[in-house]
Amino acid sequence: MSIKINVPFSQKDEAKQKGAIWMNDAKTWVIPDYIENIDPFDRWLPGDGFIVKDPYLICKSSRQCWKCQKETPLIALAARTYYTCDLASEINLKWQKIKYPAFFIGIRYMDPILLPLLKEKYPFYREMPAKKTGILTWVNTCRYCQTIQGDDYNTNNSGSPFGGYQNEKKTLFRGKNMEQIQLRFDYYIDGVVFEGIYYWDGFSEAE
Ligand SMILES: [Zn+2]
């Protein structure tokens, strides 16, 4: 899918010259899929986060709530292909296209394109103020007692629900626990990425 960009009317000719396309039905400019280098469009992107390309995936898992002890669902947004920002490099492009699987936690900016789906299907996954900083962050909460289920436990060891391929139950990336969603455009998020070859086998299983 193409990437939506926010081009002021006064800059429309410049955007067009760089290869952006106006989609009349959606009333937006987009970077078409065949353009790999999106750096020329940087100033019209929402910020320095991640842009997730098709297929849009949701990893599903569950855990025992640390407070009420009931089994409660968890999700994380996932990608096979996405753009990330390389802010330090003076040699590489700023927006690097990454073509191996990853999932995202600690999201502080969620593309509005995802909000209706999250609200309807995964209401336990929501925006809450972080304990220490008060910054609004997307977290999994217990379906029964609404307590935040911390991502440290969810992701950081092989026995945890998002522990990836080494997880004995392989709960995260099994096909039945990987949902593909349909969106009109690629989406933008700001958060933390978990990536690497470690997760690849699990993504293969999902095919
Ligand atoms: Zn609970």
**What is the pLDDT averaged over residues 120-133?**
92
Calculate Rg over the CA atoms of the chain: 18
| Residue 66: predicted pLDDT | 93
Confidence of residue 197 (pLDDT cuts 50, 70, 90): very low
C-alpha 121 – ligand 1 centre gap (Å): 19
C-alpha 75 – ligand 1 centre gap (Å): 16
C-alpha 74 – ligand 1 centre gap (Å): 12
C-alpha 138 – ligand 1 centre gap (Å): 17
**What is the pLDDT averaged over residues 132-159?**
85
Q: Report d(CA 147, CA 156) in Å as an integer.
A: 19
Residues with CB under 5 A from ligand 1 (ion): 65, 67-68, 142, 144-145
C-alpha 176 – ligand 1 centre gap (Å): 24
Confidence of residue 203 (pLDDT cuts 50, 70, 90): low
pTM of full prediction above 0.75: yes
**What is the pLDDT averaged over residues 154-171?**
56
Burial of 87 (0-12, 13-18, 19+ CB in 10 A): exposed
The token pair that represents 129 in the structure block: 């103020």
Instruction: Using DSSP, state whether 143 is helix, strand or coil.
Output: coil
| Residue 151: predicted pLDDT | 79
Q: Report d(CA 147, CA 124) in Å as an integer.
A: 10
The token pair that represents 103 in the structure block: 């999932």
Burial of 17 (0-12, 13-18, 19+ CB in 10 A): exposed
